[in-house]
Structure 1
Amino acid sequence: MEQKTARLTVLIDPAKKRALEQLCAQQDKTPSQVVRQLIRDYLKQHGIAWQPGGADPDTLEDTNP
């Protein structure tokens, strides 16, 4: 896990939250772990290079042509 963290608030309906929590519990993961992985995958999918540990977002490179 990254050393520095920042809070991200996401609003979802209660039924989806319960379903996510139940699935995460079955997989021995936390919802935060799942969301962090989704974000990493999304950045990679769009060719965004990032540095673990809190790089300045203004210095991140878009590697898409």
Structure 2
Amino acid sequence: MEEKPARLTVLIDAERKKAFEELCASQDITASQVLRQLIRDYLSKHGVDYVPLIQPRKTE
């Protein structure tokens, strides 16, 4: 059985969210992609190894 992705809810102020989304769009990347990369980097920085249950989608 394939594991479903989990949702992470983050509360930030509206102007910061808008600025973040606009920056992501200007770099042709989604906010979710940026946040997933930040989480991977943070885990790696702190020596946390994990095996993803869900294989990431390939992006070109």
Both structures adopt the same fold (TM-score exceeding 0.5): yes
Query: Which 5+ residue runs of structure 1 have no aligned equivalent?
Result: 55-65
| Alignment partners' CA distance in 1, 2:48 and 2:4 | 19
The percentage of counterpart residues that share the same residue type is 62
| Alignment partners' CA distance in 2, 1:42 and 1:18 | 23
- Give 1:4 deviation, angstroms: 3.6
The runs of 4+ residues in structure 1 deviating greater than 3 Å are none
| Alignment partners' CA distance in 2, 1:6 and 1:19 | 25
Aligned residues: 52
* Structure-2-length-normalised TM-score: 0.80
CA RMSD of aligned residues (A): 1.4
Residue by residue over 1:8-37, the C-alpha shift from the partner in whole angstroms, topping out at 9 and shown as x without a partner, is 000000111001000000011110000000
Query: Which 5+ residue runs of structure 2 have no aligned equivalent?
Result: 55-60
